[in-house]
Amino acid sequence: MKITKIPGFGSYGQYIDDVDFTTLSDQEWMEIGRSHLKNLLTIFRNHKGLTKDEYVERIAKFGPTKGSVRATIAKKYGRLIDVFDPESLKGVSEEDIRFLTSRKYMLEPTEKGNMLSRIYGAKDEEGHMLGSFDSGDLGWHSNESSQLTFAPEVCLMGSKNMLNSATGFMQTADYYESVSNSFRSELDEMVILHTYKEGAISAAESSNPEFKKQIQLNFCPVEDAETPMVLTSPGGIRGLHYTINSANRIKGMSIEESNRIFKQIDTELFGDKYTFYHHYQSNDDLVLFDNSITLHCRLKGEVDRLAYRIQYDPCHLLDAPWYPYDQKEFLDDYIDGTHELIKILEIKDFKLPIKS
């Protein structure tokens, strides 16, 4: 196993080459996880021995998946809904059944019965999308962008036809440290108000109503939801939670004033200094990336490009619960929301933040 710095990603990012997952110990894997949190982006190349079930099980050692859409539906009906179980769908509205069914086609069972979320552009004979995001480019985004209790980490495992595509990453930590003290203080106090922007991520939103609903529920289920501009990542790195796919304006500012600030940040942030594009050299590259102070995008995803994504909370890698926000009202809402989310999803062994 060889670890090297990713060139062109500022102070962060690491390649890990030649990992043999059949011999990698749990202790070594957890050390990799903790190292990843300090680097924001980790790309495994030329690895071997990672099956789909091993992938699920390895990521679960870092922490549990945290699905906001699943929790939203569960909260609505007072129970978890299993779209694969007809009994579970009793009492669910026809609209929600259509929505849940559309998501069902995007999941793939493993040999051991785990469910993996496909990132895939293909459709079946009846026109059902077999994975999220269709084909082509994807705009810059953060998953669950308007939600305080978002999953702060994402893992993507390539499967087939990845070679002509790239995943882009843009980290905000170096930028945050580079600005003047006065502007940094302003950023620390800024609060973003969100709105759903159709097509900001995927063109498929405009042609598929069920997929549009999925994107809206995942990224911006509530208009004018508020999130702080600045937070601390699970690895203790401070940066911008600048979720541009749904960021609409800054609280207390007009659209015009907000746009001037957004334009200033965009001009300084989106350049070679903080941005890295991983052009896949192997179909099975494994990528871990931060979703708290790092944006991602996709270039040239072919219809038959297939990868598997897991969104998770790395609580098992942390010595103490994660407290991302400084502003008390948002920290309190995050703590309450996290307790509710973990209870609804029936997640065990989670380092819950302590209520004041």
Domain CATH code at residue 167: 3.60.130
Q: Is residue 310 part of a domain?
A: yes
At residue 330, the 3 state secondary structure works out as helix
CA 338, CA 336: separation in Å to the nearest integer? 6
Residue range of the domain that includes 181: 63-282+289-344
Strands of the sheet containing 191-194, edge to edge, are 226-228, 191-194, 247-250
Q: Is residue 58 part of a domain?
A: no
Share of the chain above pLDDT 70, in %: 100
Q: Say what the pLDDT of residue 155 is.
A: 98
pLDDT top residue among 302 and 155:
155
Residues contacting residue 75 through CB under 8 Å, at least 6 positions apart: 340, 344
Q: Is residue 6 part of a domain?
A: no
Q: Is residue 336 part of a domain?
A: yes
Helix axes 68-77, 328-344, angle to 10 degrees: 70
Q: Does the structure show a pLDDT above 80 at 265?
A: yes
Question: Looking at 105-109, 130-134, 149-153, which range is the least confident one?
Answer: 130-134
Model confidence, pTM: 0.95
Contact of 341 with 66, CB cutoff 8 Å: yes
152, 143, 144: which is closest to 292 by C-alpha? 152
Q: Is residue 13 part of a domain?
A: no
Q: How many CA atoms lie within 13 A of 115 on its CB side?
A: 13
Token pair belonging to 29: 């894997």
Q: Is residue 105 part of a domain?
A: yes
Strand partners, 277: 168
pLDDT tens by residue, 290-323: 999 999 999 988 999 999 999 999 999 999 999 9
Report the Cα–Cα distance between both ends of the chain, in Å, rounded.
44
Q: Does the structure show a pLDDT above 80 at 2?
A: yes
Number of domains in the chain: 1
Q: Is residue 300 part of a domain?
A: yes
Q: Could you give the C-alpha distances from 136 to 74, 121, 165, 276, 297, in angstroms and in order?
A: 32, 8, 9, 19, 11
CA 152, CA 68: separation in Å to the nearest integer? 12
Strand partners, 308: 118, 157
Q: Is residue 167 part of a domain?
A: yes
Query: In a 10 Å sphere around its CB, with 0-12 CB exposed, 13-18 middle and 19+ buried, how is residue 92 labelled?
Result: middle
CA 45, CA 279: separation in Å to the nearest integer? 12
